[in-house]
Amino acid sequence: MKKMKAYLRPLGIALAVIGVLLALGFVERTADRAPITDLQVTVDGVEGIHFIDEMAVRQEILDQGIAVMGSRTGEVDVTGIEDRLRSIPCVAKAEVYHTMDGRLHARVRQRIPIVRVFNRDGSSFYIDKEGWTMPTSANYTARVLVVTGHLDEPGAKNGVYSVFASDSIEHAFRSDDIHRLATFITADPFWNALIDQVVVTPDGGFELIPRIGAQRVLIGDGTALGERFAKLRVFYEKGIPRADWRRYSRIDLRFAGQVVCTKRTTL
């Protein structure tokens, strides 16, 4: 009797496993045959960023040239829909899947721009937090740091690409330096509130234009940002009272251990 029980127990476990696998296979086949009855769209992003909305995503899916609503779930090209959504310049990530209740789910994550770059010819583009360029939108304008001046950056023409590209051609441009500077400024609440424009000079240096005081703050080529901004913070907090910020037309931080100021001739 004991020997029989010893044989029956593994056999029972094996039969249970087989039963579960058969049930899962049945559920999977049934799910693949279920028609799509609903489309659920979710757009993730930072509050206030509205480059794309649920309606635009819905239209992108339903206008792709193949039937979605009413089609069997197994016939829907989920990968193709994801690729189509990812091709939208303001979309950083897209995930599409269906559930057993016949719903097709689409979740997209918007890119988060941190700076807008204006070239000398008037063209412009954004750079997002992760260092990807993105074109401007006719429907929405992000309120971000603005960089102008002697620039001919390719982002306005070449669509979405990483500013950290290793191609030697890319090294002739300043988008990677601009991204690094914008990341530094936006990461600090004080600088983010104070600085809304940066100008690139003919020699490739950066000049900050604060919201208060209207000075030109020279920080050089964008290196040693921590050191130079630390000097500027000390100067603002201890060197001059806020009421006197307008006394200076230029603050130069390019020299090690020094803050060189030029007084305004007229107030």
Q: What is the CATH number of the domain that holds 63?
A: 3.10.20.310
Looking at residue 5, what is its pLDDT? 52
Q: Which domain holds residue 47?
A: 38-110
In a shared domain, residues 201 and 185: yes
In a shared domain, residues 79 and 145: no
Looking at residue 73, what is its pLDDT? 78
Last residue of a domain, one of 84, 110, 136: 110
**String of DSSP letters for 136-187:** --SS-----EEEEES---THHHH-S-BTT---TTGGGS-HHHHHHHHHHHHH
177: alpha, beta or left, given left = phi > 0 and alpha = psi -120 to 50? alpha
In a domain, 19, yes or no: no
What are the backbone dihedrals phi and psi of residue 118, each rounded to the nearest 5 degrees, phi first?
-110, 125
Q: What is the mean pLDDT of residues 3-31?
A: 51
Q: What is the mean pLDDT of residues 147-154?
A: 94
In a shared domain, residues 129 and 210: yes
Looking at residue 51, what is its pLDDT? 93
What are the backbone dihedrals phi and psi of residue 263, each rounded to the nearest 5 degrees, phi first?
-75, 145
In a domain, 147, yes or no: yes
**String of DSSP letters for the chain:** -HHHHHHHHHHHHHHHHHHHHHHHHHHHHHHHHSBP-EEEEEEE--TT--SS-HHHHHHHHHTSSS--TTSBGGGS-HHHHHHHHHTSTTEEEEEEEE-TTSEEEEEEEE--EEEEEE-TTS-EEEEETTSBEEE--SS-----EEEEES---THHHH-S-BTT---TTGGGS-HHHHHHHHHHHHHSHHHHHHEEEEEE-TTS-EEEEESSS--EEEEETS-SHHHHHHHHHHIIIIIS-GGGGGGEEEEE--STT--EEEE-S--
pLDDT in tens, 77-130: 889 899 999 999 999 999 999 888 888 999 999 999 999 999 999 999 999 999
In a shared domain, residues 86 and 191: no
Report pTM.
0.81
In a shared domain, residues 94 and 129: no
Among 74-88, 115-129, 190-204, 234-248, name the one with the lowest average pLDDT: 234-248
In a domain, 17, yes or no: no
Residue 219 pLDDT class (50, 70, 90 cuts):
very high
Q: Based on the number of CB atoms within 10 Å of its own CB, is 72 exposed (0-12), middle (13-18) or buried (19 or more)?
A: middle
Which residues does 196 contact at the CB level (< 8 Å), separation at least 6?
A: 145, 146, 209, 211
Distance (Å, whole) CA 260 – CA 256:
11
Q: Up-side HSE of residue 111: CA atoms within 13 Å toward CB? A: 28
Residue 27 pLDDT class (50, 70, 90 cuts):
very low
Side chain identity at residue 181, one-letter code: L
Domain count, the chain: 2
In a shared domain, residues 122 and 197: yes
